[in-house]
Amino acid sequence: MTTQFVGDIADAGLARAGVARIEWAAREMPVIAQIRERFAKEQPLKGIRVVACLHVTSETANLMLALRDGGADVRLTASNPLSTQDDVAAALAIEYGIPTFAIKGESNETYYQHITEAISDRPQITMDDGADVVAILHKERRELLADIVGGTEETTTGVIRLKALAKSGQLEYPIVAVNEANTKHFFDNRYGTGQSTIDGIIRATNLLLAGKNLVVAGYGWCGKGVAMRARGLGAQVIVTEVDPLRALEAVMDGFRVMPIAEAAPLGDVFVTVTGDVNVIDTASFETMKSGAIMANSGHFDAEINLKALNTMAESRETLKPFVEEYTLADGRKLVVLAEGRLVNLGAAEGHPASVMDMSFANQALSAEYMVNNHQHLEKQVYDVPREIDDEVARLKLAAMGIGIDVLTPEQEHYLNSWELGTH
């Protein structure tokens, strides 16, 4: 029997397992569940064609179902060649009828081919994680721009790319930067990346982190999370930074801070979370200890200079899934996890559902906002409206059964007055 579906997936036989995984994630996504229920009643996205280029995980599947139930015509394509959960992709395409283009381990060529197929349906809303759809539309498929009313962007790296595009005056439609919501980056970037990155490193290596020197390159929200959780497991954490304020913050948070050149010979494990290129480069490879392990948790696989490492190495061997060892001419061996791609999604399952619940609530509500407000927006990158951010926090707290205080009228008055000082 052939199974009918639209998309390109690894194995249709995984669809039932994918449903179970999606339902498991749903247990930790009460905010998305509430939004899905309201969307099903109100149909705010009725007939809107949405292309989503996101990591194809069980959490993303729950977002897709909320959008679909809100009336959207959704197509999903992977936002990274290594992050797809093949069972989830199969479930989405076959059990839920959502066209899905994603295969774990796909080549870069297939990755771009999948995006091309996903956008062939003339999308009206784009939902990106890393701005690849926006980049392709602006560079190669400009004829599709006419139908697009707006977009959303999930991640720090994507927002940086989009702001550069807007600054150059070439952005052709408004985009909401979901990453900038407090209910996104405080939680997803910090606690999500913190836990899932360590999870990826441990699943790939089964390494004991206690007593190891773990170098975190970058002390943004993601770096803070990784450093915090590595310390919790007993690692001696060293932070490298280029930003003086963040470096100072890391010092006062109790971490050693030094340039990468000094950290390179000390580190047992290196994690890059900077969003920049060649953060670990030839000079570092030359002084690293034999056996040093490198992992990246920044959006693109550009942070560890693998091209240079490949050139320096005499041989390369896959020791186990997601663990590759490079042997250098002097006999030292350097290890790279998950091909230098996002280690948390390559070697583990990405951020836990509970944080993705908030990130994707912002996505769903921002898509609704874009449909309702695009006429009044410029071709710029916008923050998530404060009301949406606050609403997500309120819904999450309520779902967790946590109550908070409200200001008394006297306290409100006090906060709004300048006359009242020392009592």
Binding residue for ligand ADE (CB under 6 A) from 8, 59, 339, 357? 59
364-368-369-372 Cα dihedral, nearest 10 degrees: 170
212 contacts ligand ADE (rule: CB under 6 A): no
How many other C-beta atoms can be found within 10 angstroms of the C-beta atom of residue 408? 9
Phi-psi region of 277 (alpha: psi -120 to 50; beta: other; left: phi over 0): beta
Give Dmax over CA atoms of the chain in angstroms: 81
CB nearer to ligand ADE: give 174 or 192.
Answer: 192
Q: How far is the CB of 26 from ligand ADE (least distance, A)?
A: 13
Give the one residue of 18, 19, 35, 57 binding ligand ADE; rule: CB under 6 A: 57
Rounded to whole angstroms, the Cα distance separating 166 from 73 reads 27
Site for ligand ADE in 346-375 (CB under 6 A): 350-351, 356
Nearer to ligand ADE, 114 or 351 (CB): 351
- Does residue 189 belong to the site contacting ligand ADE (CB under 6 A)? no
CA angle 115, 374, 177 (to 5 degrees): 60
CB 355 to ligand ADE: min, Å: 8
**Listed residue (90, 53, 57) closest to 75, CA to CA:** 53
- The CB-of-193 to ligand ADE minimum distance in angstroms stands at 7
Smallest gap from Cβ 408 to ligand ADE, in A, equals 40
- The nearest distance, CB 329 to ligand ADE, in angstroms, is 37
From the list 10-18, 56-64, 95-103, 402-410, the region that binds ligand ADE by CB under 6 A is 56-64
Distance in angstroms (rounded) separating the CA atoms of residues 145 and 173: 8
Which tokens is 417 given?
């007055």
CA gap 13, 328 in Å, rounded: 42
Considering the complex, state which of residue 193 and residue 213 has its C-beta at the smaller distance from ligand ADE. 193
> For residue 321, how many C-alpha atoms fall within 13 Å in the half-sphere facing its CB?
11
Closest contact distance (angstroms) between CB of 349 and ligand ADE is 6
The distance of closest approach from Cβ of residue 139 to ligand ADE in the complex, given in angstroms and rounded to an integer, is 24
CA separation for the pair 218, 87 (Å, rounded): 33
- Binding footprint of ligand ADE, residue count (CB under 6 A): 10
Instruction: Name which position in 8, 60, 68, 263 contacts ligand ADE (CB under 6 A).
Output: 60
Q: What are phi and psi of 160, to 5 degrees?
A: -60, -45
55 near ligand ADE (CB under 6 A): yes
Q: Which residues bind ligand ADE (CB under 6 A)?
A: 54-55, 57, 59-60, 192, 345, 350-351, 356
